[in-house]
Amino acid sequence: MLRLRSSVDAARAPHLGAALRDLDGVRRVVEQPDAVLADSTVFVADVEPAAADQLVDAIAGLGIGADDYVLTRVEVVAPLHRHAIGDRGIDGFAWVEVMGQARANSRPLARYLALINVAAVIAALGVITSSSILIVGAMAVSPDLLPICATCVGIVAGRERLAARAFATLTIGLGGVVVTAAVLAALLKLFGFLPDGFRVEDSALSTLAHTDYSTVLIALAAGVAAMLSFETRASAAVGVAISVTTIPASAYLGVAIGAGGIGNADGALLVLAINVVLLIVSGTLTLMVQRRLSSRRRSSPA
66: enclosing H helix or E strand: none
CA 302/CA 298 separation, integer angstroms? 9
Q: Given pLDDT bands bounded at 50, 70 and 90, which one contains residue 238?
A: low
pLDDT at 202 over 60: yes
- Decide if 207 contacts 187 (C-beta within 8 A): no
Which tens digit of pLDDT belongs to each residue from 115-164?
Answer: 999 999 999 999 999 898 999 899 988 999 899 999 999 999 999 999 99
The pLDDT assigned to 85 comes to 47
* pLDDT at 88 > cutoff 50: no
pLDDT at residue 297, rounded to an integer: 62
CA angle centred on 261, ends 259 and 267, rounded to 5°: 130
All residues at 6 or more sequence positions from 41 whose CB lies less than 8 Å from its CB, including other chains: 7, 8, 9, 10, 13, 17, 31, 32, 33, 34
Backbone φ and ψ of 11, nearest 5°: -70, -35
Structure confidence at residue 173 as a pLDDT band (50, 70, 90): very high
What residues does 155 pair with on adjacent strands?
Answer: none
Residue 264 in 3-state DSSP?
A: helix
Q: Which helix (H) or strand (E) holds 241?
A: helix 235-243
Model confidence pLDDT, tens digit, residues 248-273: 999 999 999 998 777 768 888 999 99
Give the chain's domains with CATH numbers: 2-92 (3.30.70.60), 99-297 (1.20.1080)
pLDDT value at 92 more than 70: no
